[in-house]
Chain A
């Protein structure tokens, strides 16, 4: 973050990094492969001969030479050369001996004092390929003799410019094998495993891509790994299944296509595409197929190394500058990491191009494939991360969606319930209206008219009739009120009752103290329940008016019980109490029995406390 957050700092770092990589590659102070400490043979004689064994070699016309022998530099126009060295030894002892060839192209067979001791692989067309593979041939000390010993080495190359033999070693095996094993490990085993891993990764990423074909970078990365791995085959496959010409064409083209696919990948991963460049390199890639149709290895190598690789260098530089530009714009740490792995690819690649074009000593060996390790790791990590992120994102989205769906479901449910209750309310209201109309036109209207007429009349009979009708009307109203959904609210219900009963109380000269409070919403309220509550309250008030002989009365509400889950409605008169106590209450007429029955129907408790100071009727209901 410290580095990638600051543009200038990061660019300076990258430049220094580029310098260091160049220094390590071209002026390396580190030697990876030390030669064995004994038995180096450099002074040899050579003869051009198609012979298959030393027995077929002429005894004259041998030319002295100091190894290494680079056939391109020494302009050998042949496919096979024999080398001979005479080595003077002491007592060979009982230990196994060996000949170690650090570098030979392409194939070699070794003879000690005319006896064959080993070879890289089959000679012929195509010849076995060991240009990257150090060879070690062990043999019995019995083949050696004190004094002069003759070593003959047969070297064959697919193409005369590629032939090469470096100085070799003759020594007891124990002094050679570690050096050989190390070089073999770094040059062959490591690359073999790496290449297998790249194929495997390519297959996995390819499967990802099959699952998500719209994500083209998976397909590109899979192809990239496949091409680069195939290019690597040249480093460790010795027995090739096709002709050397086709093999060279394949190795040449796969390298180019690797670079091209890398550019396509970069464009898509970074997200800034350049259609013009893509078109151009695509044409170039298609032209690359032409390599397979070149008539011989010579033209493949000349055109491949000279033209094709030069373009690849340009493309490689483009890829780096493309990343640099994207980095300057965005300071994306991912792009910074891509530059870190991209720089070695470019520098190593340049190194290899110099080698194959004979500007550098071939003993350095090709190294570009090593730059694939950090690159493949980084991009694999990128893609796995991307895949995991997209899974996480998908999961998160699915979660959110799920939550939203559930929320909507709840909303719908509650809307539906509301709708139902509104519908029910609407039905009740309609029914109520119908009853109202009936009442208005029929009995209710008539009763109102009669009272209205009687209002102006005096006299006891009139008064009594009026009161009776008034009571009937009030009764009728309570029944109709019970149908009003608004009266599911208990305080409103009691408030309406107060309005309905005010005349009755006034007539009895009773002051009603009103102590109604706000109450929690009662569940399960219905017209039936409303009517039960109203009847109980009405009956209590009526009883008090009749029996209490009080001028004052109170109606009070409140909440009690655990978590205020119970609501009470008290009707308190300040009268004489019920004569004979509660037993008398129970023995009383239908009025109180009715109240008890209604309380039971409500699932409520009805308490009647009576004393000299008055009577309290308490209706206790659960909120739920």
Chain B
């Protein structure tokens, strides 16, 4: 398996140290830099162009979402992962809209954290009932469609999101729908991509509406 380069943005020194330990010890990760705020994070991202950005959201000088957005703006080949401390699906959802592909919980066990990163690089995508519901809401509100958003969910994707929102795991969903586990995770990843495409279009629409575009 290949090795992935990585930068870490986290303001809590204890948590950062733990994560650094975790990553450094892992054979498939190469830590390029750590940062404690948005400015450092952005600088590190531009400088190192890592495979993976691991970032906290609540940072002293702003939100980790700004760093996640920079990936898209700078057309970097980098997957963003959110470090969520005290769980907050709504903020994580904003990060997903900005282009994050996965999230971990700070207090998860070490194995779970590294598994989650590897899983993301292999095309997996974690999701929670609340995020699934937020997705459904985002894609189903008719007003959104009137704006001519480019991406809509397929019937299958809607079914999957509904089951996720009811608390079923990806494995259980695969069994229920009679499809493979990876098909489920691929669907979820595709939903994430659609979400990002739509939110980008939406941002343009809003900017146009506010007269910010030429």
Contact = CB atoms under 8 A, between A and B. Distances in A.
A514 B128 CA distance: 15
A104 interface: no
A492 B165 CA distance: 5
B58 interface: yes
The interface centre, meaning the residue of B15, B21, B87, B134 with most chain A CB atoms within 10 A of its CB, is: B87
A396 B12 CA distance: 71
B15 to A, nearest CB: 5
Contact of A484 (B110, B130, B164): B130
A592 B165 CA distance: 29
B18 A496 contact: no
Interface in A496-518: 496-499, 514, 516-518
- Report whether over half of chain A's contact residues are helix, strand or loop; otherwise say mixed: helix
A486 B166 contact: no
Nearest to B57: A440
Given A489-B165, A516-B166, A455 B110 contact: yes
A191 to B, nearest CB: 72
A495 interface: yes
Contact of B58 (A440, A449, A487): A440
- Report whether over half of chain B's contact residues are helix, strand or loop; otherwise say mixed: helix
B85 A448 contact: yes
Nearest to B166: A491
B12 A449 contact: yes
A436 B14 contact: no
Interface residues of B, number: 32
A445 B85 contact: yes
A436 B134 CA distance: 18
Contact of A445 (B12, B89, B110, B165): B12
Interface in A582-619: none
B162 A453 contact: no
Interface string A418-453: 000000000001000100110110001100110111
A494 B167 contact: yes
A487 B165 CA distance: 10
Nearest to B58: A440
B155 interface: no
A455 B12 contact: no
A351 B15 CA distance: 117
A514 B167 contact: yes
Interface in A445-496: 445, 448-449, 451-453, 455-456, 473, 477, 484, 486-487, 489, 491-492, 494-496
A498 B107 CA distance: 17
B129 A496 contact: yes
Given A452-B18, A486-B134, A487-B130, A514 B168 contact: yes
A103 to B, nearest CB: 86
A210 to B, nearest CB: 51
A161 B128 CA distance: 114
A122 B97 CA distance: 109
B133 interface: yes
B156 to A, nearest CB: 16
B90 interface: yes
B86 A499 contact: no
Contacts of A518: 162, 166
Contact of B106 (A448, A477, A491): A448
Interface of A: 429, 433, 436-437, 439-440, 444-445, 448-449, 451-453, 455-456, 473, 477, 484, 486-487, 489, 491-492, 494-499, 514, 516-518
The 3 closest A-B pairs by CB, nearest first: A495-B167, A495-B129, A444-B86
Given A452-B18, A455-B18, 18 more contacts: A433-B90, A439-B86, A440-B86, A448-B15, A449-B12, A456-B110, A473-B107, A477-B86, A484-B90, A486-B133, A486-B134, A489-B133, A492-B133, A492-B165, A494-B166, A495-B128, A495-B166, A514-B168
16 contacts: A436-B91, A444-B85, A448-B106, A452-B106, A455-B107, A455-B110, A489-B133, A489-B165, A491-B165, A492-B165, A492-B166, A492-B167, A495-B128, A495-B165, A497-B167, A514-B168
